[in-house]
Chains A and B, each alone.
Chain A
Amino acid sequence: MTSVIEINNLTKKFGDLKAVDNVSFSIKKGELFGLLGPNGSGKTTMIKMLTGQIKPTEGTAKILEVDVLQNPIKVRELVGIIPEQETPPSFLTAEEYLEFVADIRKLENIKEKCDEWFKLLDFEDQRNALCKDLSRGTRQKLMVAQAFLHEPHLAYIDEPLINLDPIIQRTLKDFLLGYIKKGNTVFFSTHVLEIAEEICTQIGILDKGKLLHQGAIQELKKRKEHLEEFFIKLVKEG
């Protein structure tokens, strides 16, 4: 199978701090890869490097066969990104924001697609509200919709379910499972192990910038090992 993400010796330094330290791995098409790690382990930095938002200090990364260092804009054209913190521009309505993103991505006739997202994530009644007035959860729904508007083959999601209610969490989990079944790939970072255990096909464990483990979640299940125990043991041992 083709590698959708291929990274070699990726390192990011902020002054003396190594946020990501010489990490190499690849992710194949159709995987739902969960990057797990404690707070401050380098997960968000990793996503930002893999989407061309920040430049790696060392190493290389190819995303959908595009070199992210050479062409970060092309990478962001191809993928969908749900950032951990960024919020949509305050004075556009939810609907206008999706239209704005569609214009940037040069998409046409997106009204139906927008309607589908408003309906799927159950925020139809908020489509004409200003983004600044939306609750955190609704903003996150909007960020989910913008990331999938252009039907990308690869989506990056940073802490995907953190502000969503249990019903929408279930909807989104089902959507992601259906999405990878169609041959697409998801890279998501989280420190909520239950979510990873439930939906991921592959996991990577990052701590203090170092990749401590990468493998199929199925292997753990075969060994009848719980992800939580495995994670804590690995991180404590360093």
Chain B
Amino acid sequence: MTLEILKAMIKEEWRLHTSLFGSRMFALFPLLIGISTFTISLFLPHMTKVMTIGQMLQSAHYLFIFFGVSIGAFGLFGREVMNRRFGQASLIAYSSRSLPISERIIFLNFFIKDILFYILLWILPITLGFILATPFISIDTISVLFACATLMLSFLIGLSLVFFLSTIYVHSSKLLIGLLLVTMISMTILTRHLTIDMNTLLLPYSMFYQPSLKKIILSLLLIIVPSSLSLIFLKVDYPEKKKQYKNSLTGLSNKLRFSTYAHYVAKDFLDLKRSEGGLGKIIFSFLFPVGLTWIFLHIFLELIPSIKAIMIFAIFLGIVSSSIYNMLTAFDTFNPYMFLPVKVSTVIKSKLMSYALINILSLVILTFATISMNQLTYFIPALCSFTTISLYSLSMTIYFAGLHPTTLMYNSKIFSQYVTAVAPLLFVFTILSILNPLTMLASPVLLILAIYVLRKSYRKWDKWKPLSI
């Protein structure tokens, strides 16, 4: 029964995407990821001048954990997935109301289906691209295969831990804060007073060099236990009591009167506040990955002291902050506006305003990180780099995907265009930030291009036949 539901859900997900932009465009997506990884892998021998293979492998493990962390907040979406995202549609996730299947079973299948999709669309193509490149870069294929397995474990550990933390958050935010504090204190004691190397805590990575049954079991436990606990304690029920809210739109809009889109922005904030998980979405989709990046960079860049950590952090922050737009558009389609005198560009502009306001948080984080890393000299170049990357990537996201980035980015054509537009910039920024951080002072010149792209995007998306998803 469960397997049948899973199979049906996979078919449904496939058809959902292929009906939007054709089966070929969707099927080519993993191929594109594989080819990109293959191409990047070919350059690995040249990169050894900057980093050793060991350091590259370590950063790859961090990246895979980061990827798992950034998509793992299933706990927040338990009810929402069941209730809102699919509530109006006749999808299988909705069947628990009309068929004798429990909501938990439906969600379990939904969870497995989503993980399988991420593995098939991202993780597997990345690892295959890497494996296929090994004969050309004189790296032992067996080691690469083993590395792929440990990378997969890193991804699943990241995902599972955040699933668990987000489930705790849904039950009690205080409990989560307490747990995080205890973890942070324990980590500090472990790393400073007991002089334990943080890398030994990165189990899959340490397993690569010193494989042992104990480490394999521990890694699997780190995946299975948090995920199982999360599935047991996940909130998927529908609250019986319907809440009543006094009108907050007026007050909030009045505070935002400086913006032309006050009501839209106020609506975005109420959406975030009142939806399942509420502000937890910002914590798990933004603050948590950013915090983790900061910790990883701190550990990692100690090995390469010549690199200014704040400059690399600013690049990461720019990429992650541009994804705030994805969060703002994820649950707000254009459909409710289609019968009102509203242009698509008006909604996009209002999302940009909301994005700008939430990004005040990014500025605070960047300032805090600069102070704590004691790299104040590089604050302005880091700020320039962060702002340019964030706005440039966002302008490209909007140009290629409009109000539907989370869906349209799985169109291989759109994704390859986006990567072609953004990846070279990230590469150049990273190299320049390492070689001479002060060159980043000139980066805001690119904002002119970003504004031009945004203006073109407005015209593009205002044309007839707005995409209705």
Residues in chain A within 8 A of chain B (CB atoms): 51, 53-55, 72-74, 76-77, 81, 83, 86-93, 95-96, 99-101, 103-105, 128-130, 132-133
A96 nearest CB neighbor, chain B only: B249
The answer to whether B341 and A103 have CB atoms under 8 Å apart is no
Let me know if B220 is at the binding interface, CB within 8 A: no
Q: How far is the CA of A27 from the CA of B339 in the complex (A)?
A: 21
State which residues 314-338 of B face A: CB under 8 Å.
331-332, 335-336, 338
The answer to whether A89 and B271 have CB atoms under 8 Å apart is yes
Question: In whole Å, how far is B374's beta carbon from the nearest beta carbon of chain A?
Answer: 43
B88 nearest CB neighbor, chain A only: A87
Question: In whole Å, how far is A67's beta carbon from the nearest beta carbon of chain B?
Answer: 13
Chain A contacts of B84 at CB under 8 A?
Answer: 90, 132
Given contacts A92-B270, A99-B249, A100-B263, contact A76 B464 (CB under 8 A): no
Q: Please tell me which one of the listed residues A53, A103, A129 contacts residue B339 in the complex, with CB atoms under 8 A apart.
A: A53
The answer to whether B338 and A86 have CB atoms under 8 Å apart is yes
The answer to whether A100 and B249 have CB atoms under 8 Å apart is yes
The answer to whether B247 and A129 have CB atoms under 8 Å apart is no
- Compute the total of residue contacts between A and B using a CB distance below 8 Å: 86
The answer to whether B267 and A100 have CB atoms under 8 Å apart is yes
The answer to whether A81 and B270 have CB atoms under 8 Å apart is no
9 A–B contacts from the bound complex (CB under 8 Å): A54-B465, A72-B464, A86-B335, A90-B84, A96-B249, A99-B263, A103-B253, A104-B263, A130-B245
The answer to whether A73 and B247 have CB atoms under 8 Å apart is no
The answer to whether A51 and B339 have CB atoms under 8 Å apart is yes
Counting chain B CB atoms within 10 Å of each CB, which of A91, A99, A130, A132 scores highest?
Answer: A91
Chain B contacts of A53 at CB under 8 A?
Answer: 338-339
Question: In whole Å, how far is A157's beta carbon from the nearest beta carbon of chain B?
Answer: 11
B241-263 near A? 1/0 per residue, CB < 8 Å: 01111111110010000000011
Count of chain B residues near A, Cβ 8 A: 34
Q: How far is the CA of A151 from the CA of B439 in the complex (A)?
A: 58
Let me know if B275 is at the binding interface, CB within 8 A: yes
Question: In whole Å, how far is B290's beta carbon from the nearest beta carbon of chain A?
Answer: 25
Chain A contacts of B274 at CB under 8 A?
Answer: 91, 130
Let me know if B342 is at the binding interface, CB within 8 A: yes
Given contacts A96-B247, A128-B246, A128-B247, contact A91 B270 (CB under 8 A): yes
Question: In whole Å, how far is B113's beta carbon from the nearest beta carbon of chain A?
Answer: 24
Q: Please tell me which one of the listed residues A76, A86, A90, A99 contacts residue B341 in the complex, with CB atoms under 8 A apart.
A: A76
Q: How far is the CA of A77 from the CA of B341 in the complex (A)?
A: 5
Given contacts A76-B341, A101-B340, A104-B341, contact A92 B243 (CB under 8 A): no
Let me know if B308 is at the binding interface, CB within 8 A: no
Given contacts A54-B465, A96-B248, A103-B253, contact A76 B339 (CB under 8 A): yes
Question: In whole Å, how far is A162's beta carbon from the nearest beta carbon of chain B?
Answer: 16
Q: How far is the CA of A24 from the CA of B4 in the complex (A)?
A: 49
Nearest first, the 6 closest Cβ-Cβ pairs linking A and B are: A81-B339, A77-B341, A96-B249, A55-B464, A103-B263, A76-B341
Let me know if B343 is at the binding interface, CB within 8 A: yes
Q: Please tell me which one of the listed residues B253, B332, B338, B342 contacts residue A104 in the complex, with CB atoms under 8 A apart.
A: B342
With A83-B338, A93-B244 known, 4 other A-B pairs at CB within 8 A are: A89-B332, A90-B275, A96-B270, A132-B87
The answer to whether A133 and B242 have CB atoms under 8 Å apart is yes
The answer to whether A130 and B336 have CB atoms under 8 Å apart is no
Counting chain A CB atoms within 10 Å of each CB, which of B83, B88, B245 scores highest?
Answer: B245
Q: How far is the CA of A105 from the CA of B263 in the complex (A)?
A: 12
Question: In whole Å, how far is A125's beta carbon from the nearest beta carbon of chain B?
Answer: 9
Chain B contacts of A129 at CB under 8 A?
Answer: 242-244
The answer to whether B243 and A86 have CB atoms under 8 Å apart is no
Chain B contacts of A104 at CB under 8 A?
Answer: 263, 340-342
Chain A contacts of B273 at CB under 8 A?
Answer: 91
Chain B contacts of A96 at CB under 8 A?
Answer: 247-249, 270
B427-467 near A? 1/0 per residue, CB < 8 Å: 00000000000000000000000000000000000001100
Q: Please tell me which one of the listed residues B247, B253, B339, B464 contacts residue A86 in the complex, with CB atoms under 8 A apart.
A: B339
The answer to whether A83 and B339 have CB atoms under 8 Å apart is yes
Question: In whole Å, how far is A135's beta carbon from the nearest beta carbon of chain B?
Answer: 10
B274 nearest CB neighbor, chain A only: A91
The answer to whether A55 and B245 have CB atoms under 8 Å apart is no
Q: How far is the CA of A88 from the CA of B83 in the complex (A)?
A: 15
Q: How far is the CA of A91 from the CA of B271 in the complex (A)?
A: 5
Q: Please tell me which one of the listed residues A89, A93, A132 contacts residue B247 in the complex, with CB atoms under 8 A apart.
A: A93
Chain B contacts of A103 at CB under 8 A?
Answer: 253, 262-263
The answer to whether A128 and B341 have CB atoms under 8 Å apart is no
Q: How far is the CA of A124 from the CA of B273 in the complex (A)?
A: 24
Question: In whole Å, how far is B334's beta carbon from the nearest beta carbon of chain A?
Answer: 10
Given contacts A54-B465, A55-B465, A87-B88, contact A95 B247 (CB under 8 A): yes
